A and B are shown apart, each in its own frame.
Chain A
Amino acid sequence: MRALVRSVVLVAVLVLLNALLVGKLVPGVSISPYFLQILNLAGINIILAVSLNLINGFTGQFSIGHAGFMAIGAYVSAFLSITFGESIRSAFSFAPATVQDSVLLLVVLAAGAIAAAIAGFLVGVPSLRLRGDYLAIVTLGFGEIIRVFILNIDAVGGARGLGGMPRLANFFWIYLFAAATVAMVTRIVNSSFGRTLIAIREDEIAAEAMGVNTTRHKVLSFVVSSAMAGVAGGLFAHYLMYLHTNSFTFIKSFEIIIMIVIGGLGSITGSVLGAVLYIVLTEGLREFAQYRMVLFSLLLVVIMIVRPGGILGHRELWTFFRRRRAAEAPAPPAVPG
């Protein structure tokens, strides 16, 4: 019941915020489209960071192929909305345009998520048998293979990119899904399934010895994580209205890793923080764009040496506010390093 009330409140808040930001709520008060873009991109980053943290931070499986799943979600959803957008819309022609748009968005996002999940399964099953460094390289390889594969499909534009998607995603939808992702991952992590994932992270062999089917758990969390990346991709596609495979190289995967490392590998709020910080710094340093990546990479190395746990380590932001209540956050075990 409480969850239902909370969801309704959230939706209401987001609707109001959305109207406010685009100037429809209070006349004359609006935010510049450029800053709205930053906010929205931050929201998409949040989805990417939190979903990657599920597999990297909580399950301890180092995957550098996240951009590949984002790409699949993006391209599948874009292709569908370009090809079948009209037919889906006309099926709901009795409803107002916003409802039509929403239905279309949900349909294509679902398709993108499913496609990404399938890809996650296909990549996960063979790869997750490997450990540490090898897994990282293989996921990197798969991410690139997916990208090259998409690049060669002429129907989605190939090297010229894919454009013409309607702008279905906005602040409301992006942050709704961001909130949903955070909620979902929090629930997973706090469940017994989540605890098993953490056990696998801490010591896979011990977990195996305790009777856990580690492969099944790893693959499952990988699939869930990929599906979320697919949703992020779909939102990305329908926000920017233009896709090019160059946006989904391993550099993108590295960027997401930077976000979760800065925030803290085992912390959900850390990922959110990292995602927002990353985009703020990126845009803020746009004048110094050439120095930006140099600074980020230096930051990454320094963090690894000095504070490998990132800003929050394994803790969540609310543990600082709820010390007294001793909330059920996973007890911080040995932080890497």
Chain B
Amino acid sequence: MKSRVLLALLLAATLAPACRRGGGDEILVGEYGSLTGTTATFGQSTNNAIQMAYEQINAAGGVLGKKVRVIVEDDQSKPEEAATAVTKLINQNHVVAMLGEVSSSRSLAAAPICQANGVPMISPSSTNPRVTQVGDYIFRVCFIDPFQAEVGARIAWEILHLKKVAILSDVRNDYSVGLQTFFRQTFKGFGGEIVAEQSYSEGDSDFRAQLTQIKSANPEGIYVPGYYTEVGTIARQARELGITVPLIGGDGWDSPRLWEIGGEALNGCHFSNHYSVDDPAPAVQKFVADYKAKYNQVPDALAALGYDAARILADAMTRAGSTDGEKVRDALAATKDFPGVTGTITINKDRNAVKPAVVLKIENGKFVYVTTVKPTGT
């Protein structure tokens, strides 16, 4: 018994702590994202943009006279890894703020830890309302799903004039579950009918069984609020089964790989998103140009939101005059009319951003801008 305890002590002693603390002349910001795994492009895009944002900010003098350094941890697209990553960033690296995540499930796993430690967290792209409900240190710079689902319902009802729609959602994913719940409510509210509902799990690769059932209900369209990896395959298999009706989705579709996976099956499909590459506003075009120059890729909405989140954090620290968690939190909560690439951002009392959404149509590998939908009440 005692030898075991001794052994444990010995190990603890020999493992010399290798903590990395921020030096006096650096501000350490933590970032956690899915750099690998099923939603790898989400994390990579966001990371690219965040790095670019801070490079530009550091080149212009930094924040409060200091350079910002981002420490990134990969959560492999898994919620439990997100929790571990955030714990490490807070406890070992002593970051003063946290950026992440794209996926609502992973944000939900990490948020309680940030909240408990008083570390302000900004999610660039998580749209499930529950994320910011975790506590007053949790913010987001994007719209939330009740609104996004409404946009989806409008796409179906007003743009495509569909009266009967089927839903195929990812049951393992908060984002998808939330979206389809709100979609169903809103669409029925317009007078539409949901003729079939099927589900799949993130990671599945065969959807024929569900699609065959959906086909037999004769929908005029299918709402697929999932992530790009499955959506592409779903589109392809749907066409193979003879389903010709359009698919509608949300920002989870936004990925440079969507077309690679789904190909021509996606022509004519629509989805709601946070920004459009074709937006002529000078700020957007400069962002697109800078990103292209640095990464040789067109930035997707995740990148745009990552960019905005990084810059809003810097702005809040400047306004607060400090990197202290409480002060930064208050400054974030007071953010008003911040000029972001994804629109003018004001953080409301629920710590969400109130912004319009764009509707994009997929045509031959390109996401074509269709229209903008403003949240009701603005």
Contact = CB atoms under 8 A, between A and B. Distances in A.
Direct contact of A and B (CB under 8 A): yes
Interface of A: 6, 10, 13-14, 17, 21, 31-35, 37-39, 42-43, 46, 151, 158-161, 163-164, 175, 179, 182-183, 240-242, 244, 246-247, 269, 272-273, 276, 280, 284, 317-318
A141 to B, nearest CB: 18
B88 A244 contact: no
**Which has the most chain B C-beta neighbours within 10 Å: A161, A272, A318?**
A161
Given A244-B109, A246-B80, A159 B172 contact: yes
A247 B109 contact: no
B83 A242 contact: yes
B92 interface: yes
Given A34-B92, A272-B4, A160 B80 contact: no
A182 B4 contact: yes
Contacts of B19: 32, 34
Contacts of A240: 83
A280 B11 CA distance: 8
B207 to A, nearest CB: 18
Given A159-B172, A161-B79, A242-B80, A182 B1 contact: yes
B1 A10 contact: yes
A241 B17 CA distance: 24
Given A161-B109, A242-B112, A31 B173 contact: no
Contact of A163 (B11, B92, B112, B173): B112
A158 B171 CA distance: 9
Given A244-B80, A246-B80, A276-B8, A33 B91 contact: yes
21 contacts: A6-B1, A13-B2, A13-B5, A17-B9, A34-B88, A39-B11, A39-B12, A43-B8, A158-B172, A159-B105, A161-B105, A161-B109, A175-B8, A179-B1, A182-B1, A242-B83, A242-B112, A244-B78, A269-B4, A273-B7, A317-B3
A273 B7 CA distance: 9
B174 A159 contact: yes
Given A34-B92, A179-B4, A242-B113, 18 more contacts: A34-B88, A35-B15, A37-B91, A39-B8, A39-B12, A43-B8, A159-B172, A161-B79, A161-B109, A163-B109, A163-B112, A164-B112, A175-B5, A240-B83, A242-B112, A244-B83, A246-B80, A276-B11
Given A32-B19, A34-B91, A159 B171 contact: yes
B108 interface: yes
Given A10-B1, A35-B17, A159 B173 contact: yes
Interface of B: 1-5, 7-9, 11-12, 15, 17, 19, 78-80, 83, 87-88, 91-92, 105, 108-109, 112-113, 171-174
Given A13-B5, A272-B4, A276-B11, A246 B78 contact: yes
Tell me what chain A mostly uses at the interface: helix, strand, loop, or mixed: helix
B221 to A, nearest CB: 26
Nearest to A248: B80
A269 B91 CA distance: 32
Contacts of B174: 159-160
Contacts of B8: 39, 42-43, 175, 276
Nearest to B9: A17
A182 B2 CA distance: 12
A318 B2 CA distance: 11
Contacts of B112: 163-164, 241-242
Nearest to A269: B4
B17 A32 contact: yes
B1 A160 contact: no
A17 B10 CA distance: 13
Contacts of B7: 273, 276
A32 B92 contact: yes
A161 B80 contact: yes
A325 B87 CA distance: 48
**Which has the most chain A C-beta neighbours within 10 Å: B1, B78, B112?**
B1
B10 to A, nearest CB: 10
Nearest to A178: B4
A201 B15 CA distance: 39
Contacts of B88: 34
B109 A242 contact: yes
Contacts of A10: 1
A99 B15 CA distance: 33
A31 B12 contact: yes
B22 to A, nearest CB: 16
B79 A160 contact: yes
B80 A35 contact: no
**Which has the most chain A C-beta neighbours within 10 Å: B8, B105, B109?**
B8
A175 B173 CA distance: 36
Contacts of A318: 3
Contact of A244 (B9, B12, B15, B79): B79
Nearest to A243: B80
Contacts of A43: 8
Nearest to B175: A160
A172 to B, nearest CB: 12
Nearest to A183: B1
A40 B154 CA distance: 52
A299 B275 CA distance: 50
A158 to B, nearest CB: 8
B39 to A, nearest CB: 14
A191 to B, nearest CB: 19
A273 B8 CA distance: 10
A195 B171 CA distance: 49
Given A17-B5, A32-B92, A34-B92, A160 B12 contact: no
A198 B71 CA distance: 52
Contacts of A164: 112
Contacts of A33: 91-92
A333 to B, nearest CB: 25
Nearest to A36: B12
A291 B245 CA distance: 46
Nearest to A34: B92
The 6 closest A-B pairs by CB, nearest first: A159-B172, A244-B80, A33-B91, A32-B17, A34-B92, A160-B174
Nearest to B7: A276
A51 to B, nearest CB: 16
A208 to B, nearest CB: 36
Nearest to A171: B8
B252 to A, nearest CB: 15
Contacts of A244: 78-80, 83, 109
